[in-house]
Amino acid sequence: MKKLFLALVASAALIHPAWAALAIDSWTLANGARVLFVENHSIPMIDLNVDFDAGSRRDPPGKAGLAALTAAMLARGVDADSQPGGGGAPNTPAPPALTEAQISDAFADTAAERGGGSDAERASASLRSLSSAAERDAAVRLLARLLAQPSFPADLLERDKARTIAAIKEALTKPDAIASHAFWRLLYGSHPYGQEATVASVGAIGRDDLVRFHASHYVANRAVVSIIGDLSRAEADAIARQLTERLPQGAPLPELPPVPAAQRREERLPHPASQAHILIGMPAEVRGDPDFFALTVGNYILGGGGFVSRLTNEVREKRGLTYGVYSAFMPMAQKGPFQIGLQTKKESAEQARQVVSDTLAAFLRDGPTEAELRAAKDNLIGSFPLRIDNNRKILANIALIGFYNLPLDYLDTWTANIDKVGIADIRAAFARKVEQDRLATVVVGGEAPK
Amino acid sequence: MKFQLRAIVLAWLWLGLQLLALAAPAQEFQLANGMKVIVKEDHRAPTVAHMIWYRTGAMDEVNGTTGVAHALEHMMFKGTTHLKPGEFSRRVAALGGRENAFTSKDFTAYFQQIEKSRLADVMALEADRMANLIFDPDEFAQEIKVVMEERRLRTDDQPLAQVGEALSAAAFVAHPYHHPIVGWMNDLENMTVADARAWYERWYAPNNAVMVVAGDVDAEEVHQLAQKYFGAIPAKPLPARKPQEEPAQHGVRRVTVKAPAENPYVVLAFRAPRLTDVERDDDAHALSVLAAVLDGYDNARLNAALVRTGRVANSVGADYSGLSRGPALFTLDGVPAAGVSTEELERSLRAEVQRIADEGVSEAELQRVKTQLVASQIYKRDSIFGQAMEIGGFEMRGISPAQIDRVIDKLRAVTPQQVQAVARKYFNDDSLTVATLAPLPLSEKKPAAPSGALLR
* Cβ-based neighbour number of residue B61 at 10 Å: 22
The pLDDT, as a whole number, for residue B20 is 44
Encode chain B in three state secondary structure. CHHHHHHHHHHHHHHHHHHHHHCCCCEEEECCCCCEEEEEECCCCCEEEEEEEECCCHHHCCCCCCCHHHHHHHHCCCCECCCCCCHHHHHHHHCCCEEEEEECCCCEEEEEEEEHHHHHHHHHHHHHHHHCECCCHHHHHHHHHHHHHHHHHHHHCCHHHHHHHHHHHHHCCCCHHHCCCCCCHHHHHCCCHHHHHHHHHHHCCHHHEEEEEEECCCHHHHHHHHHHHHCCCCCCCCCCCCCCCCCCCCCCEEEEEEEECCCCEEEEEEEECCCCCCCCCHHHHHHHHHHHHHHCCCCCHHHHHHHHHCCCEEEEEEEECCCCCCCEEEEEEEEECCCCCHHHHHHHHHHHHHHHHHHCCCHHHHHHHHHHHHHHHHHHHHCHHHHHHHHHHHHHCCCCHHHHHHHHHHHHCCCHHHHHHHHHHCCCHHHEEEEEEEEECHHHCCCCCCECECCC
Best mutation target, B152, B315, B376, to test chain A (most A CBs within 10 A): B152
pLDDT tens across A183-219, in order? 999 999 999 999 999 999 999 999 999 999 999 999 9
Question: Percentage of residues in chain A with pLDDT exceeding 90?
Answer: 90
**For residues A218 and A243, what is the distance between their CA atoms, to the nearest angstrom?**
11
The pLDDT, as a whole number, for residue A15 is 32
The pLDDT, as a whole number, for residue A82 is 72
How far off is chain A from B314, nearest CA to CA, in Å?
A: 6
Tell me the pLDDT of chain B (456 aa) as tens digits: 444 444 454 445 545 544 544 567 999 999 999 999 999 999 999 999 999 999 999 999 999 999 999 999 999 999 999 999 999 999 999 999 999 999 999 999 999 999 999 999 999 999 999 999 999 999 999 999 999 999 999 999 999 999 999 999 999 999 999 999 999 999 999 999 999 999 999 999 999 999 999 999 999 999 999 999 999 999 999 999 999 999 999 999 999 999 999 999 999 999 999 999 999 999 999 999 999 999 999 999 999 999 999 999 999 999 999 999 999 999 999 999 999 999 999 999 999 999 999 999 999 999 999 999 999 999 999 999 999 999 999 999 999 999 999 999 999 999 999 999 999 999 999 999 999 999 999 875 444 444 443 333
**For residues A425 and A367, what is the distance between their CA atoms, to the nearest angstrom?**
10
* Cβ-based neighbour number of residue A423 at 10 Å: 17
Q: Does residue A361 register a pLDDT over 90?
A: yes
How far off is chain A from B156, nearest CA to CA, in Å?
A: 7
Encode chain A in three state secondary structure. CHHHHHHHHHHHHCCCCCCCCCCCEEEECCCCCEEEEEECCCCCEEEEEEEECCCHHHCCCCCCCHHHHHHHHHHHEECCCCCCCCCCCCCCCCCCCEEHHHHHHHHHHCCCEEEEEECCCCEEEEEEEECCHHHHHHHHHHHHHHHHCECCCHHHHHHHHHHHHHHHHHHCCCHHHHHHHHHHHHHHCCCHHHCCCCHHHHHCCCHHHHHHHHHHHCCHHHCEEEEEECCCHHHHHHHHHHHHCCCCCCCCCCCCCCCCCCCCEEEEECCCCCEEEEEEEEEEEECCCCCHHHHHHHHHHHHHCHHHCHHHHHHHHCCCCCCCEEEEECCECCCEEEEEEEEEEHHHHHHHHHHHHHHHHHHHHHCCCHHHHHHHHHHHHHCHHHHCCCHHHHHHHHHHHHHCCCCCCHHHHHHHHHHHCCHHHHHHHHHHHCCHHHCEEEEECCCCCC
Question: Is B73 tagged catalytic?
Answer: yes
Phi, psi of A52 (to 5 degrees): -130, 155
Q: Does residue A36 register a pLDDT over 90?
A: yes
The pLDDT, as a whole number, for residue B451 is 40
The catalytically annotated residue of B61, B73, B346, B352 is B73
CB-nearest to B304 from A15, A101, A138 is A101
Q: Which residue of B has its CA nearest to A169?
A: B262
Q: Does residue A26 register a pLDDT over 50?
A: yes
Contact A321/B443, CB-based, under 8 Å? Answer: no
CB-nearest to A272 from B7, B144, B442 is B442
Q: Does residue A19 register a pLDDT over 60?
A: no
**For residues B441 and B419, what is the distance between their CA atoms, to the nearest angstrom?**
42
| pTM passes above 0.80 | yes
ipTM comes to 0.92
pLDDT tens across A341-356, in order? 999 999 999 999 999 9
Q: What is the mean pLDDT of residues A360-367?
A: 98
How far off is chain A from B32, nearest CA to CA, in Å?
A: 33
Q: How many CB pairs under 8 A join A and B?
A: 231
Contacts of B445 in chain A (CB under 8 A): 272
Q: What is the mean pLDDT of residues A397-416?
A: 97
Q: What is the mean pLDDT of residues A401-410?
A: 96
Contact B10/A135, CB-based, under 8 Å? Answer: yes
Please tell me the total number of residues recorded for chain A in this structure: 450
pLDDT tens across A308-328, in order? 999 999 999 999 999 999 999
Task: Yes or no: say if B384 and B214 are a contact pair by the CB < 8 Å rule.
Answer: yes
Contact A166/B338, CB-based, under 8 Å? Answer: yes
The pLDDT, as a whole number, for residue A84 is 56
How far off is chain A from B313, nearest CA to CA, in Å?
A: 9
Contacts of A382 in chain B (CB under 8 A): 94-97, 114-115, 118
pLDDT tens across A173-187, in order? 999 999 999 999 999
**For residues B325 and B58, what is the distance between their CA atoms, to the nearest angstrom?**
11
The CA radius of gyration of chain B, in Å to the nearest whole number, is 24
Contact A386/B375, CB-based, under 8 Å? Answer: no
Task: Yes or no: say if B211 and B51 are a contact pair by the CB < 8 Å rule.
Answer: yes
Contact A307/B6, CB-based, under 8 Å? Answer: no
* Contacts of B290 by beta carbon, 8 Å cutoff, 6+ apart: B318, B320, B330, B353, B356, B419, B422, B423
Phi, psi of B38 (to 5 degrees): -120, 130
Phi, psi of A115 (to 5 degrees): -135, 180
Contact B338/A305, CB-based, under 8 Å? Answer: no
Best mutation target, A389, A390, A415, A447, to test chain B (most B CBs within 10 A): A389
The pLDDT, as a whole number, for residue B22 is 52
Contact B45/A110, CB-based, under 8 Å? Answer: no
Contact A110/B7, CB-based, under 8 Å? Answer: yes
Q: Does residue A12 register a pLDDT over 50?
A: no
